[in-house]
Structure 1
């Protein structure tokens, strides 16, 4: 029997747009409250007005050490508990490595890898004490295949695949499920950095999916009975070839 979301509290990073927003909307529709962690304060205010009291805005800059460290305590202060942590925020670099400056590489690794590890670490005492919880990380099909036109991004997602699966083994006896969703190309702002030719071909061939289709996969994972863990779900556009 599917597990209900009624009364649960989720904390989602990068919640103001894309996959994070689609998952927020799906969880609220299922009866959960969602703490929307994002750096876009204006967007968070608009979402609170549209989604109502079940949407709890929390302004967070995951690249700022103090703001990142304050996220989980801030969410607990606002919502009282965290049943679900969805580490979704991320950024993208495409193109040859030589074309990328080192500051941009640092930013990507700090957001795509370091922030995820720190967020998971910060929520663990709360979930371990309660003996229950779900941690979902937005990874990518690029974390399963060496994609030659995005070596930094692909490398960051390979790191996350390793991290998620090691944490799953650490925590599966503590009532905490750890999993990841690995989409192919999703219609979102992240694709703005795709090589123009690759993006054009993807659009023409129907090789893109919508954020709602990734959110559907996340909801499937979260609603499985507690004795079932979906360790990874790869969600691809049917016409995407990698």
Structure 2
């Protein structure tokens, strides 16, 4: 099997589980070394034990501003370069706005929006200097439809959708591709926070995606010829109906 990402170093945030873990495994299979960024050191060590030296665990609390700012220098110290950033870490607040905890709103907007912007801001000078790089952001189907049961979460993803499209226009001249992956509901820990009736409906209809299916699309985006950018991909279960 072709190792299409041989020689590349990728960073995946929120890498210990869900889409982040699946993306890591897809890139490893394609020959990349992957710096797995997460708060869960125990989980990272398990994955290092499973995949060997191609996995580089990096414990960072992205919600701590000082710790977040160490991402690029620590990646360069550990791996020497950065070719791919998959900004995947995120959290979820669903339900009626009037029932939402404002502290949870702050935390979600910080992780889903501010942290993504800061991570991309910090890695761009390295990629610009090398005249190459790929940035993929995990967005959501909620970035493309005003999902009535998750106004806070959907708003964070609408913001990120705009961020991806505007930053892409700034940096493509440097050989850097920027895109987003916008899946519908994926079987992951985030679904535990879905409204119970909506989750039951999705399970009953078979309208959920596997994280590995999302990861295969991420790999597809990364392995196109350099003259092609997949700016955004919206993917959903065939049976899913908003």
Q: TM-score range by the shorter chain?
A: over 0.9
1:200 aligns with 2:220: no
1:165 aligns with 2:165: yes
Q: What residue in structure 2 maps to residue 209 of structure 1? A: 209
User: Can you give the 5+ residue segments of structure 1 that lack an aligned partner in the other structure?
Assistant: none
Once the two structures are TM-superposed, the CA of residue 84 in structure 1 deviates from its matched residue by 0.1
Question: Alpha carbon RMSD of aligned pairs, Å?
Answer: 1.0
Q: What residue in structure 2 maps to residue 135 of structure 1? A: 135
Matches of 1:93 and 1:223 in 2, distance apart? 33
Q: Deviations over 1:57-108 (max 9, x none)?
A: 0001110111100111111110000000000000001100011111000000
Matches of 1:124 and 1:198 in 2, distance apart? 39
1:176 aligns with 2:176: yes
TM-score (norm 1): 0.98
Q: Deviations over 1:35-66 (max 9, x none)?
A: 00000010001110001000000001110111
Q: What residue in structure 2 maps to residue 84 of structure 1? A: 84
Matches of 2:116 and 2:41 in 1, distance apart? 21
1:241 aligns with 2:237: no
CA pair 3-228 structure 1, distance change in 2 beyond 3 A = farther
Map 1:42-57 onto structure 2 (within 5 A). Answer: 42-57=42-57
CA contact (8 A) 1:182 1:235 kept: yes
Aligned length: 241
CA contact (8 A) 2:3 2:30 kept: no
Once the two structures are TM-superposed, the CA of residue 163 in structure 1 deviates from its matched residue by 0.2
Matches of 2:29 and 2:216 in 1, distance apart? 12
Once the two structures are TM-superposed, the CA of residue 4 in structure 1 deviates from its matched residue by 2.1
Matches of 1:69 and 1:142 in 2, distance apart? 28
CA contact (8 A) 1:90 1:108 kept: yes
Once the two structures are TM-superposed, the CA of residue 210 in structure 1 deviates from its matched residue by 0.3
TM-score (norm 2): 0.98
Matches of 2:131 and 2:182 in 1, distance apart? 27
CA contact (8 A) 2:113 2:160 kept: yes
Map 1:222-237 onto structure 2 (within 5 A). Answer: 222-237=222-237
CA contact (8 A) 2:3 2:29 kept: no
Q: What residue in structure 2 maps to residue 26 of structure 1? A: 26
Matches of 1:86 and 1:170 in 2, distance apart? 18
